[in-house]
Amino acid sequence: MNILVFIKQVADTEARILIKGDNRSLEIENKYNLNFFDEFAVEEAIRFKGKVKDSKISVCTYGGKKAVEALRTAIAMGADQAYLIDNTDLDTDDPLITAKILAGFAKKEGFDLILCGRQAIDDENGNIGAMVAEFLKIPHVTAITKLDVVDEKKIIVENDIEGGKETKEVQLPALLTTQKGINEPRVPLITGVMKAMKANIPVIDPVTLGLAKESLDRNASKIKILSYETPKGRPPVKIIDGETPEEKVKKLIKLLREEAKVL
Amino acid sequence: MDFSFSKEQVFFREQFTKTLNEIVAPHAATIDQEDAFPHEIFKKIGNLGYYGMRYPQEIGGMGADCTTFTIFAEELASVSISFAAIATMQCLMGTDFLFRFGNRDIKERVLIPAIRGEKIGTIAFTEPDCGSDLGAIKTRAIKKGDVYILKGRKLWITNAEVADFVTVVASVEPAKRINGLAFFLVEKGTPGFYTGQKIEKMSARGSVTGELIFDECTIPASNLLGEEGKGAQYLESILSEIRVMIAGLGIGLAKSAYRSAVMYSKQREAFGRSIGNFQLIQDKIAEMETRIRSAWLLTYYAAWLKDNGKQAKKEAAMAKLYSTETASFVVDQATRIYGSYGIAHEYPVERYFRDARFLLFGGGTSEILKTLIARECLKT
Ligand SMILES: Cc1cc2nc3c(=O)[nH]c(=O)nc-3n(C[C@H](O)[C@H](O)[C@H](O)COP(=O)(O)OP(=O)(O)OC[C@H]3O[C@@H](n4cnc5c(N)ncnc54)[C@H](O)[C@@H]3O)c2cc1C
């Protein structure tokens, strides 16, 4: 079986991020990681491969040249092959375009199962998986927390719903996005790290995926980022004074009512 | 000229850092506090295959070059000197002579499990009365038929109380001093092999250090590693690698202390400004960074020499000398920047301060290294 995993390289949660002068682009400290939710997808693919013989895992990202590091991480964990679809000069604000490109890749590569993280922790769009599935006209389940194989045509998945969980039967081929809790992503073995260090990762030009360049560039974007803002700083801490605890509590309640308006 | 690491080395550093942050970093302070061998962490890193990194793939290693091994040391030390001491012992001094001279049985029974983190190894040459002066080793090995009988005491031995096996340096011919040494494998449980006192110390705690006693300890003659009389020569052959590795440890520790100090200089305020605004604090920061960068250049230059098959004896000695002295300098400056907090157990800089001392002795003291460097200089 062909398992595809779509991944994204994102800024580390501790990386310093500054908004550039134009307010529309970011300057990100050189600290990147494989997206948190995508680690679950890679791990699940490896476990799936363990259950269904003759499976092969290909990971793919649409990103800049640097994103090859995230692909190598996936290989270190256990993926067989990786592909970088190079977005140089094509970087878009519109996830629909990204989804179109990934779907184009999936069609070309062939697949039985596609996994990806439920969302990227940088832009938090959370819609790539669903859109790729739509382009490919295949079933899709979001944020799964369990994946069981029935046979080569059928799987059972679980996802969390308000107050409980839901179990679904899904026909393959299908696209699933992974949620935290589905597994414990592995720390790569040194042999995996070595394999990843040496892996030859083909770079794909998106126009070779049967998509016209005009349909991929900035002008084709139906969504454009206008500006970024940093969150407001927290208001200063207020220390409540008073002679006795009773007096302090009284003052606190008054403030919670009148200033914070939470009571 | 090109001062950059290869893509592979960059990737290795990244992966290893992540692994350390997940498995070791959360416990670094506890390892130091408890001063007990961290068995669980030791096994976890072993299961991932890191202890074999210098060895060929056929036996579970990755055939890493000296540069990659130095990166390994650097990243270890920036997280925990205690664990760095344990891991580097397992990768290099504790297993190297088994790899080079062990027969098939020794390799399969001892070396391969050690690489997987299932057995703990160490090396023992230091004695209560001698460290730098290996010619003064008193531990004797006497051959009787097809066994050797060992008699003597070793002190300052890393992992002494937990080691499953040890490479022991003993004299087969005391009159020949340094040319009368040989290496032997002794396994835990061998009659006449005991562990003695544990040394309470301030640095590299958790990498437990202690005494080994050989009282008519009888081992098969096949446990002789290499040839009689060649011990010093064998040790010499990995000394440069050991020195570059320890230099890497120095850089890692110094970098951690430096990073903490810079962060604190920006946060801490005095006289209405962050202390980083004061020229005397800036002087410390500039000195620290410049020395760390110099140590870095020397160390990776020595590693590069080794990887390119060039003579690196003097450079490795200079790297170890300069990098470990730099680490001691940097932890001193960093803790000054922290003011009184610099001596509080609560802050990692206090641990860095204590740990830096560990780097000054093994692989040659600064005095010994200077002697060696000068001797090389005067040769020409
Ligand atoms: C934490 C820790 C772990 C260790 N683990 C191990 C281990 O696993 N196995 C092992 O075998 N050893 C181990 N050692 C011992 C270490 O290798 C020795 O400390 C080192 O070789 C120096 O020997 P010494 O401490 O006996 O100092 P000495 O050799 O006694 O030196 C004392 C002082 O005299 C100076 N000196 C000595 N000779 C000269 C000279 N010719 N010229 C100028 N100055 C000189 C030294 O520089 C030093 O300042 C460990 C040490 C430490 C601190």
In angstroms, the CA B239 to CA A185 distance is 39
Residues with a CB atom less than 6 Å from ligand 1: B 122-126, 131-133, 156-158, 204, 209, 358, 361-362, 365, 367-368, 371
pLDDT tens, N- to C-terminus, chain B (380 residues): 889 999 889 999 999 999 999 999 999 999 999 999 999 999 999 999 999 999 998 888 889 999 999 999 999 999 999 999 999 999 999 999 999 999 999 999 999 999 999 999 999 999 999 999 999 999 999 999 999 999 999 999 999 999 999 999 999 999 999 999 999 999 999 999 999 999 999 999 999 999 999 999 999 999 999 999 999 999 999 999 999 999 999 999 999 999 999 999 999 999 999 999 999 999 999 999 999 999 999 999 999 999 999 999 999 999 999 999 999 999 999 999 999 999 999 999 999 999 999 999 999 999 999 999 999 999 97
For the structural domain made of B121-229, what CATH number should be given?
A: 2.40.110.10
Shortest CA gap A206–chain B (Å)? 25
In angstroms, the CA A154 to CA B302 distance is 58
A188 and B CB contact within 8 Å: yes
Which residue in the set A69, A72, A187 is minimally distant from B48, CB to CB? A187
Q: Give yes or no for a contact between B295 and B329, defined as CB atoms under 8 angstroms apart.
A: no
In angstroms, the CA B169 to CA B125 distance is 5
Verify whether the Cβ–Cβ distance A188 to B23 is below 8 Å.
no
Shortest CA gap A186–chain B (Å)? 10
Q: Give the mutation candidate from A32, A84, A193, A200 for the B interface (greatest B CB count, under 10 A).
A: A193
How many Å lie between the centroid of ligand 1 and the Cα of residue B360? Answer: 9
Phi, psi for A102 (deg, rounded to 5): -65, -40
Q: Give yes or no for a contact between B120 and B114, defined as CB atoms under 8 angstroms apart.
A: yes
The pLDDT of residue A262 is 86
B51 and A CB contact within 8 Å: no
CA of B54: which chain A residue's CA is closest? Answer: A190
The pLDDT of residue A231 is 84
Shortest CA gap B332–chain A (Å)? 28
What string of H, E and C letters represents the secondary structure of A149-169?
EEECCEEEEEEEECCEEEEEE
How many Å lie between the centroid of ligand 1 and the Cα of residue B131? Answer: 4
B18 and A CB contact within 8 Å: yes
B263 and A CB contact within 8 Å: no
Other Cβ atoms less than 10 A from the Cβ of B144: the count is: 9
Least Cα distance to A129 among A1, A2, A6 occurs for A6
Q: In this structure, what token pair is assigned to residue A92?
A: 């878009």
Kindly report the protein residue whose alpha carbon is nearest to atom 41 of ligand 1.
B368
Q: Give yes or no for a contact between B197 and B211, defined as CB atoms under 8 angstroms apart.
A: yes
The pLDDT of residue B155 is 97
Chain A positions touching B15 (Cβ under 8 A) are: 73, 76, 188, 193, 196
Could you write out the DSSP letters of every residue in B218-277?
A: EEEGGGEES-TT-HHHHHHHHHHHHHHHHHHHHHHHHHHHHHHHHHHHHH-EETTEEGGG
How many Å lie between the centroid of ligand 1 and the Cα of residue B269? Answer: 42
Which atom of ligand 1 is nearest the CA belonging to B367? 47
Partner residues linked to A27 by β-bridges: A18
Shortest CA gap A32–chain B (Å)? 10
CA of B59: which chain A residue's CA is closest? Answer: A191
Are B7-115 and B121-229 the same fold in CATH?
A: no
Which residue in the set B12, B48, B53 is minimally distant from A197, CB to CB? B12
Residue-wise burial string across A11-24, b where 16 or more C-beta atoms lie within 10 A, e elsewhere: beeeeeeeeeeeee
The predicted model scores a pTM of 0.89
Q: In this structure, what token pair is assigned to residue A146?
A: 């369990």
- The DSSP output letter for B358 is G
Which atom of ligand 1 is nearest the CA belonging to B126? 11
B23 and A CB contact within 8 Å: yes
The pLDDT of residue B105 is 96
Kindly report the protein residue whose alpha carbon is nearest to atom 37 of ligand 1.
B132
Residue whose token pair is 């001063």: B35
Q: Give yes or no for a contact between B361 and B155, defined as CB atoms under 8 angstroms apart.
A: no
Prior bond of A173 cis (ω within 30°): yes
User: Three-state SS for B27?
Assistant: helix
User: Three-state SS for A220?
Assistant: helix
Kindly report the protein residue whose alpha carbon is nearest to atom 50 of ligand 1.
B156
The pLDDT of residue A217 is 82
A200 and B CB contact within 8 Å: no
Verify whether the Cβ–Cβ distance B49 to A196 is below 8 Å.
no
The pLDDT of residue B112 is 96
CA of A69: which chain B residue's CA is closest? Answer: B11
In angstroms, the CA B91 to CA B122 distance is 10
Q: Give the mutation candidate from B17, B19, B21, B48 for the A interface (greatest A CB count, under 10 A).
A: B48
Amino acid at B146: D
Kindly report the protein residue whose alpha carbon is nearest to atom 43 of ligand 1.
B367
User: Three-state SS for A59?
Assistant: strand
Q: Which of B86, B181, B361 to mutate to test the pocket of ligand 1 (most atoms within 8 A of CB)?
A: B361
Residues of chain A with pLDDT under 70: none
Q: Chain B neighbours among A 57-76 (CB < 8 Å)?
A: 69, 72-73, 76
Q: Which fold would CATH assign to domain B232-379?
A: Butyryl-CoA Dehydrogenase, subunit A; domain 3 (1.20.140)
Residue-wise burial string across B1-22, b where 16 or more C-beta atoms lie within 10 A, e elsewhere: eeeeeeebbebbbbbbbbbbee
Verify whether the Cβ–Cβ distance B15 to A73 is below 8 Å.
yes
In angstroms, the CA B76 to CA B72 distance is 6
For the structural domain made of A2-220, what CATH number should be given?
A: 3.40.50.620
How many Å lie between the centroid of ligand 1 and the Cα of residue B362? Answer: 6
Length of chain A as a residue count: 263
Partner residues linked to A60 by β-bridges: A6, A83
Phi, psi for A21 (deg, rounded to 5): -55, -35
In angstroms, the CA B256 to CA B345 distance is 16
The pLDDT of residue A236 is 80
In angstroms, the CA B183 to CA B233 distance is 11
Which residue in the set B11, B19, B47 is minimally distant from A72, CB to CB? B11
Shortest CA gap B12–chain A (Å)? 7
How many Å lie between the centroid of ligand 1 and the Cα of residue B170? Answer: 17
Q: Give the mutation candidate from A66, A69, A77, A190 for the B interface (greatest B CB count, under 10 A).
A: A190
Q: Which fold would CATH assign to domain B7-115?
A: Butyryl-Coa Dehydrogenase, subunit A; domain 1 (1.10.540)
Kindly report the protein residue whose alpha carbon is nearest to atom 48 of ligand 1.
B365
Which atom of ligand 1 is nearest the CA belonging to B160? 8
Chain A positions touching B12 (Cβ under 8 A) are: 193, 197
Phi, psi for A238 (deg, rounded to 5): -110, 125
Phi, psi for A85 (deg, rounded to 5): -90, 115
Q: Chain B neighbours among A 23-42 (CB < 8 Å)?
A: none
Q: In this structure, what token pair is assigned to residue B229?
A: 């009389």
